[in-house]
Amino acid sequence: MADIIKLLPDHVANQIAAGEVVQRPASVVKELLENSIDAGATLIKLIVKDGGKALIQVVDNGLGMSETDARLSFERHATSKISSAQDLFNLETKGFRGEALASIAAIAHVDMQTKTENAEIGVHLKIEGSKIKSQEVVATPKGTSISVKNLFFNIPARRNFLKSNQVELRHITDEFHRVALVHPNIEFHFYNNGSEIFNLPRANQRQRIGHVFGSKMTDRLVPVNEETEVVKVSGFVCKPEFAKKSRGEQFFFANNRFIKSPYLHHAVVAAFEGLIKSDLYPGYFLYLDVDPASIDINIHPTKTEVKFDDENTIYAILRSTIKHSLGQFNVAPVLDFEHDPNLDTPYAYKEKGAVIPKVTVDATFNPFQEAAKSSPSKSSYQKTSAKGWENLYDGLDKNIDTDNFSSLEIESDTAVQGTMYSDSEEETQTGITFQLRRKYIVSTIKSGMLVIHQNRAHERILFEKFLGEITVKEGISQQLLFPLELSFSQQERVILKEIQESLINVGFAFESLEEETVKVTGVPLLLSESGIGTVLDRIIADYKEGFEGSSISQAELLAKGLARNLAVKSGEVLDQESQLALVNDLFGCKEPSLSPFQKLTYTTISEGDIEKKFS
C-alpha cells in the first residue's frame, strides 16, 4: 500500500489554527491590541465597522517592524517575544505563540503598514488567505497599522455563525475594556462606524475605570491593596449596594492580563458574604501580580484561563484583603436589603463610624394570619385593568377569554362542567381570597382550591400588558415634574439606544441619550420615581444577558424585564382589593398558567386531593 500521510500545506494548517485563535471579530481585536501593547505603543486607535465584520483596524505608535519582520510576522510560530522554552516561564509580553497574525491572515484580507523609528520609509503589505498579494514602500509615521477586512471570507460557515453587528460590537467592547483597564498609561481611541465611542486619555487606574464605565463608577470604588510574598493585590471593589443582577463589572487581571477565574471570583463573593443578596454580583477590578514562574497561561490559546501554583493561598489572601477593605471603608455592615440604592449618597458612609448591623423585624408578622389589612402601604399591587373581580362570576362575558377557562378545567383533576367558579350565591358575590405566607393568594373554586403564586402571576399580567403596549405603542407615560438625571456608561447607553423605541412605547421619555447623564422626563404609569434607576439598570442587565442566548424579540425582552422588575414580590402584603384584582387580571391574560419565565403561576387542589388527606 502506498504511503498516505502528507504534511498539510501551511495555509491549511494556518486556517485550522485560526479556528482556535479567531472565534469572532473580538478575538482579532484582542490580538491586535495586545500586539500594539507589546510593541510599546503609548497611543492606540481601534477602528471598527459593522461589528468588525467589515473592518477592524488597529493603529499604534509602537516600535514598528523592519521589512523582513513584517513579512515574517505572518508566518506561523514567528514571534519576537520568546526564543526558548525557558522564556515561557518568564513572560513579560501578552503574545508569545506567534500564531495570531498567521491565523488572521489565513481567514481575512489583511493590510499592514509599518515603519520603525530609524527606517526612512515604511512597508505596505497586502495579504489574503495567507498569501502575500502585494508589497510596496509607503511613507508612514513610526508604528504599525493593521486592517483586517472581510473576516472569514473563505469560511462561509464561520461567517454565517457570527451574531448581529450589535452583539459582535459588544464582544469587541468587552475585549477593549479588558485591555484598556489594565493599561491606563496608554491613550486609547475607539471608533465605531465613524463615530468615536471611547476616548481614553492617559490616566491613573481609578480615572481609567471612570473613563470606561462613566464617572459615577469612581464614587463606588473601594480601594484594595495588599502585598504578600505570594501575590500583590491592588485595585478596587464596588460598594455592596452597587452589586448588580448581571455579570459585566468583574475583572481579574494577573500580571497585566485579563483572566477568568471562577475560583477567585468565589473568593470575592465570599468576602461580600452577608452584604449582598446571593443572586447579585459584586463589581470588582482586581490586579494580581505574581512571580511569572508561578503562573501558567499556556493552557488555552485565547489565554484567559490561567493556572496559579498557589491558588489556595491567593484565594485566602484575596478574601481577607477585600473583607478588610470593606470594613476599613465602613461599607461593610449595612444589612438593609430593602433600601433603595438610588437614594443614598456615597458620602453618607464617610460620616459613619462602625455601624451595628441593623435587621428590621416586623414584630407583628404572623405567617398564619390572613393578609394584614392594616398595612395598605405595602400593597404595591396596582390593578392593571379596570375589569372587576365580579366579572369572573358573570359567567363567561366578553372580557374573559373562554379558552382560559377550558384549559383550567382540563388541568384540574376533576373535570368541571361549565364555569370554574361555583354558581352558588355566596361565593359569586364575594370572591373570597386570602394571602398565604405573603406569597400565595388562595381562593376557592368549584373543584376545590386555587393557589396563585402572587409574584409569578403578576409577572404574567405585567408582561402581557407591556408587550401589548410596545406593540400598539400606547403605553401611558407619567411625566416627571423634575426630570431625573441618571448617568450611564457608554456601553449602557448603546443598549438604551437600541431599545429606546420600545422604552418610549411603554411610557419612558428621555431628553437625550448622547451625554453620559441621561435625563429621564417620563416613566411608565406603574413605576415609582425612586425605582427608575434600578429598573433601567436591571433592564440593561437583562438585555445584555438575554439577547445573545436567544432569538426572542426586543419587545419581549423589555416586557419581561419590566414585568420582572415591577411585579409584586413574594413577601409583600396585599390587601383584599389587590388580591382580587390580581386574580382577576391573571385570568384575563392570554396565557394565565405560566409566568413569562415559564414557571407555573397557579395550581389547583381538588376536593378529591383534600379528601384523600383525611382518609
**Residue 65 interacting partner from ligand ADP, Mg ion, none (CB closer than 5 to 8 Å by kind):** ligand ADP
Smallest gap, in angstroms, from Cβ of residue 134 to ligand ADP? 19
Asked if 62 interacts with Mg ion (CB under 5 A), we say: no
Distances (CA, A) of 165 to 24, 162, 499, 558: 11, 8, 15, 20
User: Min. distance of Cβ 300 from Mg ion in angstroms?
Assistant: 15
Binding string to ligand ADP for residues 57 to 96, with x set by CB under 6 A, is what? ---x-xxxx-------x----xxxx-------------xx
In order, the DSSP letters of 262-314 are HHHHHHHHHHTTTTS-TT-B--EEEEEE--GGGEE--SSTT--B-EETTHHHH
Q: Which does 61 bind (CB under 5 to 8 A by kind): ligand ADP, Mg ion, none?
A: none
Distances from the Cα of 420 to the Cα of 147, 494, 579, angstroms: 68, 48, 18
Give rounded-to-5 percent helix, strand, coil for the chain.
40, 20, 40
Q: Pick the binder of ligand ADP from 44, 101, 288, 580 (CB under 6 A).
A: 101
Looking at the Cβ atoms of 144 and 455, the one nearer to ligand ADP is 144
Residue 11's Cβ-side half-sphere holds a number of Cα atoms within 13 Å equal to 11
60 binds, among Mg ion, ligand ADP, none (CB under 5 to 8 A by kind): ligand ADP
Q: Is the CB of 14 or the CB of 35 nearer to Mg ion?
A: 35
Residues 560, 438: Cα–Cα separation, whole Å: 23
Q: What is the dihedral of CA 96, 98, 101, 107, to 10 degrees?
A: -120
CB of 94 to Mg ion, least distance (A): 7
Beta strand residue intervals within 503-552, DSSP E: 509-510, 517-524
In the complex, least distance from residue 537 CB atom to Mg ion, rounded to whole angstroms: 36
**Among 98, 129, 292, 301, which residue sits at the site for ligand ADP (rule: CB under 6 A)?**
98
Helices 454-472, 576-587: axis angle to 10 degrees equals 60
Q: Which is nearer to ligand ADP, 58 or 518 (CB)?
A: 58
Helix (H) or strand (E) holding 175: helix 165-182
The cell for 245 is: 443582577
Applying CB under 6 A, among 14, 15, 27, 35 the residue interacting with ligand ADP is: 35
Sites for ligand ADP among residues 453-492 (CB under 6 A):
none
| Contact status: 27 vs Mg ion (CB under 5 A) | no
The C-alpha cell that represents 29 in the structure block = 481585536
Residues 231 and 226: their CA atoms lie apart, in Å, by 8
Least separation, in Å, of the C-beta of 474 and Mg ion? 54
Closer of 76 and 211 to ligand ADP (Cβ): 76
Among 14, 15, 57, 144, binds ligand ADP (CB under 6 A): 144
Q: Of residues 18, 26, 28, 39, which one binds ligand ADP by CB under 6 A?
A: 39
| Shortest distance (Å) from residue 28 CB to ligand ADP | 11
491 binds, among ligand ADP, Mg ion, none (CB under 5 to 8 A by kind): none
- The residue with its CB nearest to ligand ADP is 95
**Does the footprint of ligand ADP cover residue 97 (CB under 6 A)?**
yes
Which among Mg ion, ligand ADP, none contacts residue 116 (Cβ within 5 to 8 A by kind)?
A: none
Long-range CB contacts (within 8 A, 24+) of 507-513: 507/469, 507/475, 507/476, 507/477, 507/478, 508/477, 509/477, 509/479, 511/483
Closer Cβ to ligand ADP, 98 or 388, answer by number: 98
Please identify, among the stretches 30-38, 147-155, 281-289, 602-610, the one whose residues bind ligand ADP according to the rule CB under 6 A.
30-38
Q: Which option in Mg ion, ligand ADP, none does residue 78 bind, with CB closer than 5 to 8 A by kind?
A: ligand ADP
- Rounded to the nearest whole angstrom, what is the least distance from the CB of residue 337 to ligand ADP in the complex? 47
**Cβ neighbours around 511 below 10 Å, total:** 14
Nearer to ligand ADP, 99 or 572 (CB): 99
Q: Residue 79 binds which one of ligand ADP, Mg ion, none, with CB within 5 to 8 A depending on kind?
A: ligand ADP
| Ranges assigned E (strand) in 159-219 | 187-192, 195-200
Of 303 and 493, which CB lies nearer to ligand ADP in the complex structure? 303
Local structure of residue 569 (DSSP, 8 states) = P
Kindly determine how many residues on this chain lie close enough to bind ligand ADP according to the rule CB under 6 A: 23
Report angle CA 566, 568, 573 to the nearest 5 degrees: 145
If the CB atoms of residues 129 and 546 are measured against ligand ADP, the closer one turns out to be 129
Q: Which CB, 79 or 165, lies closer to Mg ion?
A: 79
Work out how close the CB of 38 gets to Mg ion at its nearest, in angstroms, rounded to a whole number: 7
Nearest to 166 by CA among 560, 554, 533: 554
Q: Tell me how crowded residue 489 is: count the other CB atoms within 10 A of its CB.
A: 21
Sort residue 473 into left (φ over 0), alpha (ψ -120 to 50) or beta. Answer: left
| Size of the chain, expressed as the number of residues it contains | 615
Smallest distance, Å, CB 163 to Mg ion?
Answer: 25
Which of 14, 27, 35, 412 contacts Mg ion by CB under 5 A? 35
Name which of 35 and 419 has its Cβ closer to Mg ion: 35
Please give the helix or strand (H or E) that residue 34 lies within, else none.
Answer: helix 25-38
- 40 vs 608, beta carbon nearer ligand ADP: 40
Mask for 88-107, x = binds Mg ion (CB under 5 A): -------x----x-------
Question: Between residues 22 and 563, which has the closer beta carbon with respect to Mg ion?
Answer: 22
End-to-end C-alpha distance for the chain, whole angstroms = 81
Q: Which residues contact 431 (CB under 8 A, 6 or more apart)?
A: 389, 390, 392, 393, 443, 580, 583
C-alpha cell of residue 96: 508569545
- How far are the Cα atoms of 14, 42, 281, 445 from residue 549, in angstroms, in the given order? 30, 37, 20, 40
Shortest separation between residue 146's beta carbon and ligand ADP, angstroms: 7
Residue 472: CB partners within 8 Å, gap ≥ 6? none
- Distance separating alpha carbons of residues 93 and 232, to the nearest angstrom: 19
- In the complex, the residues that contact ligand ADP under the rule CB under 6 A are 31, 35-36, 39, 60, 62-65, 73, 78-81, 95-102, 144
Q: Name the site residues for Mg ion (rule: CB under 5 A).
A: 35, 95, 100
